[in-house]
Amino acid sequence: MRQRRKIKCIDSVLLIASIISIVLIGCKVNPDSLKVNNDINTTDRDVINSKINIIKKAILRKESSKILELYDASNANNLRRLSIDSLVTKVDLDSLFQDKQVLEIRTTVDNVVGIVESKFEDDDFEFNIIKLKNDGYTKLIAIKDQSNKNEWLITAVFEKNKSDWGLLFVTSKYIKADGLSAIDAYEISKAFQRKNNSIAAVYYAMLSVRLLYPCLDYFHYVKEDSVLQYAKSIISSIKSIYEFPLEIRNLNSISSIITFEPEVLNGELQVLVVLNSPTDLSDNSLLDIEVNEIHKKINTLLPGISDIGKKMHYRVVSNSDKLKYKDFVRQ
């Protein structure tokens, strides 16, 4: 009796094993797909190193365009607002992970542990590959300037999609322009609003929004929603006061002010005023004279803009060809 039970038991096990085998074959399960590899293999390391070299050269040459080349077309949305990014801006990575008064880590990043998986350096920089997700497929490249090891220069997050490492973003959210963070610009904007200076309030509101980008999916300011709601409100309100483009009379080559906005050039925060020209921009001397005229009365055209106290960058854009423009800078 025991022998028969034993045979039946063996038969049952064999039957179950046979069924499992048939199911696996029928589903065409790839054994490799069941493997989880939390390490960066040699090929992946070479790919990341090549991207790091591009970043390094861009930092040394201050060429933000080289950074943009690393973005995939599928991540085109991440490119918005990158004009405010300055490669000379220092990033405090410790604050990024620890300062809960400024930043919070949302659930889009699972189990941010900040574990350094590997570290290497050369004469200029120290590179740290930091594990962001437990799946092993999201890495943060933290780069320190060798001349000041207390500060992080730039960060870049890579995420592995199938066999390729794609770049998600190239700076942390803890970015500053002229020493101002997004929250700083937000508070300054509100102060100008209380003084009824709508132009300056809108300028700093736009700056605060730009400093929130480009990595909204990862690191978030605690006050982020407040900043965005306030900026939307103040920017909408100015439309009820001014109707852009603002017409400029008594000028031959410049007809209107299209817009104004914050920008960073060579690490310096400026006011970009975009002007419209109905001409072909050929008469540079005449444009120069007319920009001088506009600069003299800019505080009349945009009341309160002089309170911002930044260098004025005037961009005259051709009405017939938006890709053609000439720049003039006034102190």
* Span 187-198, pLDDT tens digits: 999 999 999 999
Query: Is the domain of 228 the same as that of 258?
Result: no
Residue 199 vs residues 34, 161, 180, 233: alpha-carbon distances, Å: 58, 44, 18, 13
Domain-located, residue 157: yes
Domain-located, residue 35: no
Query: Is the domain of 69 the same as that of 88?
Result: yes
Among residues 241, 262, 287, the one where a domain terminates is 241
For the cut 90, the answer to whether the pLDDT of residue 160 exceeds it is no
Of the ranges 72-76, 150-154, 163-167, 192-196, the best mean pLDDT one: 192-196
Of the ranges 34-43, 63-72, 98-107, 214-223, the best mean pLDDT one: 214-223
Domain-located, residue 23: no
Query: Is the domain of 271 the same as that of 295?
Result: yes
For the cut 60, the answer to whether the pLDDT of residue 173 exceeds it is no
Number of domains in the chain: 3
Nearest to 276 by CA among 316, 306, 218, 313: 316
Query: Is the domain of 137 the same as that of 47?
Result: yes
pLDDT at 132: 55
For the cut 90, the answer to whether the pLDDT of residue 295 exceeds it is yes
| Token pair recorded at residue 55 | 């970043």
Q: Which residues of 232-263 are buried (b: 16+ CB within 10 A; e: fewer)?
A: eebeeeeeeeeeeebebeebebbbbbbebbbb
Domain-located, residue 159: yes
Query: Is the domain of 214 the same as that of 251?
Result: no
| Token pair recorded at residue 151 | 């500060």
Q: CA quadruple 73, 210, 107, 130: dihedral positive or negative?
A: positive
Domain-located, residue 288: yes
Whole-number percent of the chain with pLDDT over 90? 22
For the cut 70, the answer to whether the pLDDT of residue 125 exceeds it is no
- What's the whole-number mean pLDDT along residues 160-170? 49
- Distance, in Å, from the CA atom of 101 to the CA atom of 93, rounded to the nearest integer, reads 15
pLDDT at 254: 94
- Regarding pTM above 0.85, the answer is no
Domain-located, residue 20: no
Identity of the amino acid at 29: V
- What's the whole-number mean pLDDT along residues 24-33? 28
Least confident of 260-274, 286-300, 303-317: 260-274
Query: Is the domain of 148 the same as that of 232?
Result: no
pLDDT at 192: 96
Query: Is the domain of 123 the same as that of 232?
Result: no
Domain-located, residue 163: yes
Least confident of 115-129, 175-189, 201-215, 286-300: 115-129
DSSP state of 180: B
- Distance, in Å, from the CA atom of 140 to the CA atom of 138, rounded to the nearest integer, reads 7
Query: Is the domain of 146 the same as that of 251?
Result: no
Among residues 210, 241, 272, the one where a domain terminates is 241
Domain-located, residue 268: yes
Q: How do residues 217-270 score in pLDDT, each as one tens digit?
A: 444 555 777 888 999 899 888 888 888 889 998 898 999 999 998 887 665 788
Which H or E run includes 291?
helix 284-296
Beta strands 268-277 and 311-318 are parallel
The torsion defined by the Cα of 63, 67, 73 and 79, in degrees rounded to 10, comes to -80
> Residue 270's domain is classified under what CATH number?
3.40.1350
Residue 270 structural domain: 246-330
* 330, β-bridge pairs: 312
Instruction: Note the maximum CA span of the chain.
Output: 113
Query: Is the domain of 91 the same as that of 159?
Result: yes
